[in-house]
Structure 1
Amino acid sequence: MTADQGSVGAEPGVRFRKRTVRDLELAAGTPVLVRADFNVPLVDGLITDERRIRAALPTIEYLREHGARLVLCSHLGRPKGPDPKTSLRPVAERLSELLGSEVVLARDVAGPDSRRAVEQAAPGDVVLLENLRWEPGETANDPAFAQRLAALARAYVNDAFGAAHRAHASTAGVCAFLRPAVAGFLLEREVTTLERLLEDPPRPFVVVLGGAKVTDKIKLIERFLELADELLIGGAMCFAFFRAQGHATGASLVEEEGVELARRVLERAGGTPCELVLPRDLVVGDRFAADAERRELDGVDVPDGWMGLDIGPQTAREYAERVKRAGCVFWNGPLGAFELEPFAVGTRALAEAVAEAPGRTVVGGGDSAAALVAFGLDTRVDHVSTGGGAALELLEGRKLPGVEALDDA
C-alpha cells in the first residue's frame, strides 16, 4: 500500500497541520524510528486481536519501499519492568508473517542488542525493540532514555495514535533529540477523521454515547451538546440521568458522582440546538450474569432487586432509526452489557444500524470496537479508531502531546 491510496491518508477536506512520512527525504538505508501501537490483547501468548498491527502496515510498508531501515518500538500492557509475559515476541512473529520477511526482535530497549541489530540491518529490514515499558524512563518521559531511543535513528515517525495522549519518552521526549519528527499514515488519518467531526460533520450529526460513567464522558457530552444535532445516551451511565430525573433505579449500577453532573447536563441541554435523547424502555436482570432472569420493562423505572442491563426494544428501534437517517454518526460505548448474550440485543441493534447507515460512520473506544468485531461488523464502518483515550481527549478539544511534538507542516 502506498501513500497515494485514500484509505491511508488524511480525511478529505481537513488539513493536517503536521508533517507526515510523505515529507521525509530518505537515502537508502536511513534508520527511522517508528513509534507504533502494538498494545494488543494476548491470551496464553497468542494475539487475540491484531487490528492494531494491521493498522501500522501502510506506514511500515511505505518506509520499506523507500529503503529505510525500520526501528519499531511499542509498549505492551503495563509491566513495571522486564517481564517475559509482556514480551513483544508474539508481535514480531505475526508482523514477520504479514510482511513476508523476518522482523528481528531486539533483546533490550535501546540497549547494546538494539544498537547491534540496527547496525546489521539492510535497507528495508525491520527491527522491533522490546517492550518500551520495561524501561522506567518511558512513562517518566526521562530525557536520558529519550536520547538513547533517538540515537538509534536519523528520523522519527509517530504512528501510535493510541498512545498519542501520553507524554512519554517514545511519544514526546524523543522529538527533542531527533528530527525530522513526522506523523505516520494512521496517526494522520485518525486525527483528521476525528477533527472533521468537530469542524465539518455532514448533517444531521448523530452521536451515541454509552459506557458506565458520566464522569468519564462529561466533557465529551458537553462538547457534543454544542456540536451534534442529536445525542443518544445508553449504557449504565443512563441511570445517573434517570436518578437525576427522579426515576427508580433498583440495583442498577449508578455512579453517584455522576448524578449531579447528569442533572447539570439535563438543565443545559434545553438551551442548546442538540436534542438529548435517553432510553424509553429497558431490559433488566436479577443479577449480572449470562444466566440471569431477564425481563423487558415498558418504561425506565427499575424495580427493587433488579438491575438495568440493556436498552429496551423500543429504544433500540428508535436509536437505529435516528442513526440510519444521519449524515454522520459517532458512536462511543456499548448500550448494555453486550458481553452477556441475553443483554447484547441493544448494542447489536445499534451496531447493525451503524453498519447499514448511508452516512459517514465513525466508532471510537475499545468496547465499541470490540462489539463490532464480536458481531462481525467492523469492516462495514468507515472508521474504527485504534485509540480510546486519545480519541476522547482529542474530541474533548485537548492537545495530544504525541501530535504536538511533531514538525509543523
Structure 2
Amino acid sequence: MKLLKNSKIKNKIVLLRVDFNLPMENGRVLSDEDYRVKAALPTIKFLLKNGNKIILISHLGRPNGRWDENYSLKPLVSHLEDIIGEKINFIEDDIRGLEKINCDKICLLENIRFYAEEEENNEKFAKKLASFADIFVNDAFSVCHRAHASVEAVTEFLPCFIGLSLAREIDILDKAIKNPAHPVAVIVGGLKAETKVKVIGNFLPKADFIMLGGVVANTILSVRGEEVGRSIISPEVIPAIKKMKVADIKLTVPVDVVVSKDLDGVGGTTTIQISGVVKDDIILDIGGKSADLFCSLIKKSKTIIWNGPMGRADMEIFSNGTKAIAKAIGRSGAYSIIGGGDTIAVINKMGIMDKFSYISTGGGAMLEYLAGNKLPGIEALK
C-alpha cells in the first residue's frame, strides 16, 4: 500500500475521499460533533502544502440514491471553511454531465450518495469520478467496509494512496490486535450484534477481560438460560455464540440490570439481579453492581477497546452504566481506543473526549477490522 506521507505528490488534482457524515441541527453542523472533519485536516493540509488541488468526496446520511435537500452537504461548506481556513467551491451540478471540474484550491462535491451508482459500486460512475483528477487518496476509514464506487471501484482508474488519518487508524488497530499491552480489556455493547460477536470470538484468545452490555449481553444471557423478558436479542448470532465457550471466565456479563416495562421507562424503572428478570421486563442498562464489576476490570487493564454503550444511552435514565464505563476508562491510564457513533456521542456530551487515547472515526468499519474481516476499501488500495 502506498502511503501519502511517503509520497512526493505535487501540483496534482487529488480526488480525496473523506467522511463528513456529521450530525446537523436546523441545517447547521453541531460544532462539537465534527471530529471526523478534524481527523481529515492533516491530509488536506499536506496536499495543499505541496501545491495540489483537492476535490472532496463525502456522503451524508442515507438518501437512498436520490437528491434530498435534507442530506445536502451545502450547509457544511461554511463550517469546513472555518476549520480548514480555505475557500471551498461547492459543486451542486450532477457530475455525470460534467466534463471537467474547475477547482481553485478545494472543492466539495454534493453528497455522493445522491447517486444510486455509488452504493452499486458502478464502474462507469467510478471512472467518471476518476476523470476529474490525477490521484485518488482515501482518508475515510469509516467507509472502508463499504464496497462503493468512491471507495473501491474508483481505485481501478487512478494511482491510489492512503491518507494520513486512514494510515494512523490502521496502525493503531493493528497494534491493538497484534501487540497490545496486557491486560487487555474489550468492552462491547450497543444494538448491532452480528459483527460484535465476531469481534468477541476474535479476541477470546487475546484479551484478558471481555465485558458485555446491550444486545450482545442479552443474547448471551439468553443462551445461558437466563430470563431476559422482552429485551432485544439477536437470534441470528445464537449459533455463533454457542460455538464459543459462553461460560468462558473472560466473558463478563451484567450481574444486575435496569429494567422497565416499556422502552422509554415511562412506567418507571427498577434495578434488579439478573435472576430477578421476569417475562415482561425490558433490560435497558446495566446496574450499579455490574458497573462496579466492569470498572474494577478496567482499572486492571493497560489496553482497552470499547465499542457500543451498555444500554439505551440516548436516554438519560438509561445512560448511567455507559457513563460509569466512560469515566473509569478516562481515569484508568490505559491505552484506550473508542469507536461507534452512540458511544462517542455519550463521551462527547460528557465533555471527556480528550480523556481517551484514540477516538476511531469508524463504527462498523472498526468492528469489521477488529473481527479480522477484510475491508473492501483497504484491500482496493493494496
| Residue in 1 that maps onto 2:203 | 224
| Residue in 2 that maps onto 1:131 | 111
Query: Please, what TM-score do these two structures have when normalized by structure 1?
Result: 0.87
| Residue in 1 that maps onto 2:10 | 27
Equivalent residues of 2:57, 2:108 under 8 A apart: yes
CA distance in 2, matches of 1:194, 1:351: 20
Q: CA offset at residue 63 of structure 1?
A: 0.8
| Residue in 2 that maps onto 1:15 | none
Q: Kindly tell me: are residues 202 and 114 of structure 1, through their superposed partners in 2, closer, same or farther at Cα, counting changes over 3 Å?
A: farther
Name the SS for the 2:186 alignment partner: strand
* 1:41-96 superposed Cα distances (whole Å, 9 cap, x missing partner): 22332223222112111111111111111111111122222222221112222111
Q: CA offset at residue 213 of structure 1?
A: 4.8
- Matched pairs, number: 379
Q: CA offset at residue 113 of structure 1?
A: 5.7
Is structure 2 residue 378 aligned with structure 1 residue 403?
yes
Question: Where does structure 2 lack aligned partners over 5 or more consecutive residues?
Answer: none
Is structure 2 residue 128 aligned with structure 1 residue 145?
no
Q: Kindly tell me: are residues 250 and 116 of structure 1, through their superposed partners in 2, closer, same or farther at Cα, counting changes over 3 Å?
A: closer
Is structure 2 residue 190 aligned with structure 1 residue 211?
yes
Which one of 31, 43, 60 corresponds to residue 44 of structure 2?
Answer: 60
Which one of 25, 36, 46 corresponds to residue 28 of structure 2?
Answer: 46
Q: Kindly tell me: are residues 213 and 25 of structure 1, through their superposed partners in 2, closer, same or farther at Cα, counting changes over 3 Å?
A: closer
CA distance in 1, matches of 2:214, 2:151: 33
Equivalent residues of 1:236, 1:309 under 8 A apart: no
Which one of 378, 392, 405 corresponds to residue 353 of structure 2?
Answer: 378
Q: Kindly tell me: are residues 301 and 290 of structure 1, through their superposed partners in 2, closer, same or farther at Cα, counting changes over 3 Å?
A: closer
Is structure 2 residue 254 aligned with structure 1 residue 275?
no
Which one of 186, 197, 212 corresponds to residue 233 of structure 1?
Answer: 212
CA distance in 2, matches of 1:164, 1:389: 9
| Residue in 1 that maps onto 2:177 | 198
| Residue in 2 that maps onto 1:361 | 336
Residue identity matched to 1:276: L
Equivalent residues of 1:172, 1:405 under 8 A apart: yes
* 1:307-349 superposed Cα distances (whole Å, 9 cap, x missing partner): 2211111110111121122010001111111122122111100
Is structure 2 residue 328 aligned with structure 1 residue 343?
no
Q: Kindly report the root-mean-square deviation, in angstroms, between the aligned alpha carbons of the 2 structures.
A: 1.9
| Residue in 2 that maps onto 1:91 | 76
| Residue in 1 that maps onto 2:292 | 317
Is structure 2 residue 161 aligned with structure 1 residue 182?
yes
CA distance in 2, matches of 1:158, 1:338: 32
CA distance in 1, matches of 2:276, 2:236: 20
Equivalent residues of 1:220, 1:396 under 8 A apart: yes
| Residue in 2 that maps onto 1:156 | 136
CA distance in 2, matches of 1:212, 1:167: 23
Equivalent residues in 2 for 1:291-310 (5 A)? 291-310=266-285
Identity %: 34
Q: Kindly tell me: are residues 140 and 236 of structure 1, through their superposed partners in 2, closer, same or farther at Cα, counting changes over 3 Å?
A: closer
| Residue in 2 that maps onto 1:102 | 87
Q: Kindly tell me: are residues 325 and 98 of structure 1, through their superposed partners in 2, closer, same or farther at Cα, counting changes over 3 Å?
A: same
CA distance in 2, matches of 1:363, 1:295: 29
Equivalent residues of 1:165, 1:393 under 8 A apart: yes
Which one of 62, 67, 75 corresponds to residue 78 of structure 1?
Answer: 62
CA distance in 2, matches of 1:144, 1:302: 55
Residue identity matched to 1:347: T
CA distance in 2, matches of 1:187, 1:329: 20
* 1:251-275 superposed Cα distances (whole Å, 9 cap, x missing partner): 32233444454343345x64xxx71
Query: Please, what TM-score do these two structures have when normalized by structure 2?
Result: 0.93
Q: Kindly tell me: are residues 328 and 116 of structure 1, through their superposed partners in 2, closer, same or farther at Cα, counting changes over 3 Å?
A: closer
CA distance in 1, matches of 2:218, 2:173: 28
CA distance in 1, matches of 2:164, 2:126: 23
CA distance in 2, matches of 1:46, 1:103: 17
Residue identity matched to 2:215: A
CA distance in 1, matches of 2:99, 2:321: 49
Name the SS for the 1:324 alignment partner: helix
Q: CA offset at residue 392 of structure 1?
A: 1.0
Equivalent residues of 2:181, 2:303 under 8 A apart: yes
Q: Kindly tell me: are residues 50 and 214 of structure 1, through their superposed partners in 2, closer, same or farther at Cα, counting changes over 3 Å?
A: closer
Question: Where does structure 1 lack aligned partners over 5 or more consecutive residues?
Answer: 1-17
